[in-house]
Chain A
Amino acid sequence: MSENHRSGKLVGLIGAAGVKEAFHKKVRQRRLGVALVTFGISFLGLWLMIDIVGARGWTPLEVLEIGLFGVLFTNLAFGFTQAFLGFLVLAEGHEPLKITNTLDETTPLASTAVVMPVYNEDAETVFGNVRALYESIQQRHELDSYDFYILSDSTDPAKAIEEELAWSDICRQTNGFGKIHYRRRKLPVNRKSGNIADFCRRWGHRHRYMVVLDADSLMTGAAVSSLVRLMETNPRAGIIQTMPRLAKTETLFGRIQQFASRVYSPIFAAGLNFWQQGAGNYWGHNAIIRVSPFLASCALPGLPGREPLGGRILSHDFVEAALMRNAGWEVWFAYDLDGSYEGLPPNLTEYVKRDRRWCQGNLQHMWFLLAQNIQPISRIHLVQGILAYASAPLLVLFVLFGGLQAGIDRLQEKVGTFSAASAGVLLLMTVILLFGPKVLSLLHLFARPKEIASFGGPVRVLLSAVLETLFSILTAPVLVWFHTRFVLRNIGGQTVLWHTQTRDGGAGPRWIEIVREYWPLPIAGVGLGALAWWIAPSYLAWLSPMLIGLLLAIPVAKLSARTDLFRNLFLTPEELQPPQELSARFQLQLRDGDQFVHAVLDPFYNAVHVALQRSREAGSPAVDGYVASLATRLFKEGPECLTSQQKRALLADGETLAFMHNLIWKTPSEMMNPAWALALAQYRSSFRRNRSKPEAPQASLTKTHSAAA
């Protein structure tokens, strides 16, 4: 009997009381081990820090500095411990306690909804990913068990039209009518979580499971079916989260993150599973959820107060996992299940923009730390989520307090005396905690020659790892800066606005846009550098990694969007030999240009949209009058005259849109608004050039005359 098979049996037998107790004992031991290692490292670090700072007595600034150091160092130690244990698990070659041990390919499938909430996304990407999964499942002859739902909250009328056509086109191409569904909410109430809740209300009783995907998520049919089978085999599992790999990135920033995630995350993931077991977390996508307990227990409560920290929950995933756990269900992490992918913002600026939303969402989770009945492990997940952003202002305060104290000492001309040995050991410890996981990951990879070949070979991996480390050192101060800003604004009751807009075409934001957002960073770098130099040159040296990152923030942000740099480095197996689902390219028959105009002019766009609208029978006279007035304005003043909201109102009325279609087509050009005449002329010219000309009257006339002669 193989080791894995025995492990599978072990977990499979967890239902039996004795084995269940053994399992819980084992998990308790593991958690105790993680706590001991983490706090052991932390106490050692703290002791060394106290030895360094407290050698000359104490000041309030130093006491606070030590407190902050304790929090930050413990967080760092926890990450390292997970990575180290994950490394050991992977080095040993088997993990008896993981959900995938219970996978049995002969387990029958069950009715499953694949849901993809979207919000003003690129339709080609969304529907391309859905189609890739659809065809992957089709090839496995397992389509009968699945339904696909694209749940749109798009508020942009053009995007909404594009989605409808993309849906009908993909259904037409794959014969997916009745399997691939599309639903758009008129109002995006409660955003993504409200979108999923709305799905549950409408079709919650139709499916036993739902696989939640993001707009940029992609999973293989094999992965999705494995998740369903794991759910069937583990009846106490409420959620199973996969470990999505980053894929399909093109920019330098994206490829560096893709490489880093592919190389470093396996040991972190194995370490995470090592201690959390059935008390795992949910990341909002690339996961399967058992619908019935989700309906019963995971509806999101309102938070006290108002946004940004109160009101509606923005970041729902951690909370849903906590609520699922509260209800007695398990949340597992299938960290070694292949075939789960996700995208990434293409450059540093877009990444920071995303962090702005996530930061606000994660900070809201502090309410759950004050709530009753939240399980301890769920609290740890919530704290980790909060610290992902809150650690930035804590780090800033730590540096600030240290700098202020050093400045005071400099003014008082007190010479600092501290234990050099303690400082050396602490520095070494910090370096190990920061970079140790990377080294362990590389060791893990280098121990597998076949695997390292799939990354382009050892030399490329090493070079990539060195450059990735440099890049992460440069970008870390930028992230600390923005995270601090986001946290402070949120605590002060404000949401952070962002003015930059990334241009299409992969070039990323322009210099001027980057300078507008990043200009304070190099100025802060120069100021801090001068201050540090005044305090002591050695202090400047200590701060230099942070200062270099601040000084170079603008060029680094610009370079991060480049697609032509280091194409031979940062290679991943998914880039070199992408699976079929990642490499598939699907062509949708979508027209370029303003999709709203197409909804009026194009006979097919118009017909599909109108056919998907509810009949206006129940409309009130006031609404009818409003829509009629919009239609009149649209015809008289052209397509640009309506606001986005007015366009949405008009689009919701199928009959009026069908009427507009006929009206535009049958009105002579000189009798309509020039903007419509131009739009119609452009639309007509888009396919006219391909037309042969038997019907051109003048040509036919000449031909007829010749024949008569």
Chain B
Amino acid sequence: MAISPEYIALLRIGIGSSPEWKEAWERINDYLDALRTPDTIDRELILLSSFERAIVRKRRQPFTPATELAFEEAQKTLDFALRHLIDEGVSEDRRSVEQRVRLYLTENADGNFLGRTDEMSEEVRQALREVRLQAAPNLQVASITARPLEFSSPGKRIISLAEKLSPLGANRIVGWMIGLVILGLLVFGSLYRS
């Protein structure tokens, strides 16, 4: 991609002179930072080509914010740069996600691989084309069904008794009163030794 230094200088003057475009520039730079895009000539080119198109669009869509136009154009540039790593069948709104997944997976200490895709072997490219973030393996379903608990006959009698007594224990005040009455009876009974 050949862009003359004069053109770049003019573009920058244009961006720097407008607060709206300045904010857009900062925003897109931050986004590329968030994507861990290294400071290279390719990053510069992504920025400039995106802004060039965004400025052209702004003339046609004067009421659309510059940040929005710049972001959309930056997305398109990324889309173009990573086009050979994303399957063509991937829907438009999903492409950005898939691109970011690939940038994330291949990120290293030097940042992401934007602009360095030419250095990749065909094997790596193929692997990246096929990659799909899958957190769990395919199902191999099995059945696990509980058997109901069967009680012994003394157990059933105890449960039946507990069910009858449960209304007494369900109320806190009644429960405390019953407890205190039992304790009182015990104390009374203990006043005299056998």
Q: Is there an interface contact between A671 and B146, defined as CB atoms closer than 8 Å?
A: no
Q: Which A residues are in CB contact (< 8 Å) with B133? A: 168, 608, 611-612
Q: Answer yes or no: B22 CB below 8 A from chain A CBs.
A: yes
Q: List 27 A-B contacts (CB under 8 A).
A: A60-B190, A64-B186, A172-B104, A197-B144, A200-B144, A201-B143, A202-B136, A298-B144, A299-B147, A301-B146, A301-B148, A302-B146, A304-B149, A371-B149, A404-B186, A404-B187, A602-B34, A603-B34, A603-B35, A604-B34, A665-B31, A665-B71, A666-B68, A695-B29, A700-B12, A700-B16, A701-B9
Q: Is A607 an interface residue (CB 8 A)?
A: yes
Q: Contact between A57 and B30 (Cβ–Cβ < 8 Å)?
A: no
Binds B, one of A137-145, A452-460, A686-694: A686-694
A182 is an interface residue with CB less than 8 A from chain B: yes
Find A183's partner among B13, B24, B136, B142 (CB 8 Å cutoff): B136
Given contacts A404-B183, A665-B71, A701-B16, 7 further A-B contacts (CB under 8 A): A57-B193, A59-B194, A205-B141, A299-B144, A301-B148, A367-B149, A687-B30
A492 contacts the other chain (Cβ, under 8 Å)?
yes
Name the contact of B186 in the complex, choosing from A61, A369, A671, A704 (C-beta under 8 A): A61
Whether B147 and A204, one on each chain, are in contact in the complex, defined by CB atoms closer than 8 angstroms, is no
Q: Given the known A-B contacts A371-B155, A658-B93, are A202 and B139 also in contact in the complex, defined by CB atoms under 8 Å?
A: yes
Given contact pairs A201-B141, A299-B145, A62 touches B23 in the complex (Cβ within 8 A): no
> Count of A residues near B, CB < 8 Å?
87
Complex partner residue of A200 from B12, B142, B183, CB under 8 angstroms: B142
* Alpha-carbon separation in the docked complex, A147 to B135 (Å): 12
Please give, as numbers and ranges, the residues of chain B lying within 8 Å of A61 by CB-CB distance.
Answer: 186-187, 189-190
| Interface of A, helix, strand, loop or mixed by DSSP | helix
Give the interface centre of B20, B23, B151 by most chain A CB atoms within 10 Å.
B151
A652 to chain B, nearest CB (A): 14
- The 9 lowest CB-CB distance pairs between A and B, nearest first, are A370-B155, A204-B142, A697-B16, A607-B100, A59-B190, A666-B71, A57-B193, A299-B146, A704-B9
CB distance from B144 to the nearest CB of A (A): 5
A203 at the binding interface (Cβ < 8 Å): yes
Given contacts A201-B144, A665-B71, contact A412 B9 (CB under 8 A): no
Chain B residues with CB under 8 A of A492 = 169-170, 172, 175
> When chains A and B are docked, how far (Å) is the Cα of A688 from the Cα of B152?
71
Minimum CB–CB distance from A172 to chain B (whole Å) comes to 6
Q: Check A301–B149 contact: CB distance below 8 A.
A: yes
A491 at interface, CB cutoff 8 A: yes
Chain A CB within 8 A of B49 CB: no
Given the complex of chains A and B, what is the CA–CA distance between A533 and B71 in angstroms? 81
Give chain A residues whose Cβ lies under 8 Å from the Cβ of B189. Answer: 59-61
Q: Across the interface, do A204 and B144 meet the contact criterion of CB distance under 8 Å?
A: yes
CB-nearest residue of chain A to B149: A301
- Contact B143 A295, beta carbon cutoff 8 Å: yes
Residue B67 is within 8 A (CB to CB) of chain A in the complex: yes
B15 at the interface (CB under 8 A from A): yes
